[in-house]
A = this chain, B = another copy of it.
Amino acid sequence: MRISELSRRSGVSIPTIKYYLRDGLLPPGRATAANQADYDDSHLRRLRLIRSLIGVRGLSVSATRDVLAAVDKQRENVHLLLGLVLGILPADRGGEPEGSTQADDTSAPAGADADADVSGLSEVAALTAEMGWKTSPHTPAAQVVAETLETLRALGVDYDWRSLLPYAELADRTAALDLDQLADASDPLQQAERAVLLTVLLEPALLALRRLAQEHHSAQRYGGG
């Protein structure tokens, strides 16, 4: 297809596509004339993934380049691919040679202030062990859970990892739904794009559904007037 069709089908403007081509985010098309090139579905899928990383996940062009470079090395490993595009695996590790890119190996970021969160992170480890989840111990998500527990306690709420267990059960079922929705994608890059869209864009909607359900349950328990 010509660049105009690539633009129409991807929703990315021609000047932006040209910028990605110059910048190396998108590989060149097959030259058909002096100033013309032909693009195929692989360009379209890659462009859609770029759009989801920049426009939805909010990555910079430079961070997107790192993620794509890592993605190119892990094209056959869907688990690592999803970890890369969702930011569970850091791109600078995911891009390393085979053997050092195991999920369990993405441990503490260099220079992390480990002491500050030891108690919270060990609680997250207890929670994930209880759930039977095999997860990397120092991901941003683990940090967020640890910090939440510490913040609630600092504000005087009696809360520990066991309080989160019923929420973790529901999160487990939510994630199973998420993965179901990726199963029908035909190509790893398309799957990666859907993972970014459905994970990131559904976040505010999931919280909003909780608010709607809270309103309903509150009316049921306390009378809606």
Contacts and interface: CB of A to CB of B under 8 A. Distances in A.
Interface string A148-187: 1101101111000001101110111111111101000000
Contacts of A151: 201
A141 to B, nearest CB: 4
B179 A174 contact: no
A23 to B, nearest CB: 22
A125 B88 CA distance: 35
Interface stretch (A27-35, A64-72, A108-116, A217-225): A217-225
Given A80-B225, A214-B175, A201 B148 contact: yes
Copy number in this complex?
A: 2
B216 A152 contact: no
A218 B78 CA distance: 8
The interface size bin for chain A is 35 or more
A82 to B, nearest CB: 5
A197 B154 CA distance: 11
Nearest to A155: B197
Given A11-B156, A103-B225, A174-B170, A206 B211 contact: no
A224 B102 contact: yes
B77 A133 contact: no
A140 B207 CA distance: 11
A75 interface: no
8 contacts: A82-B218, A86-B214, A88-B211, A141-B215, A145-B205, A148-B204, A171-B213, A175-B210
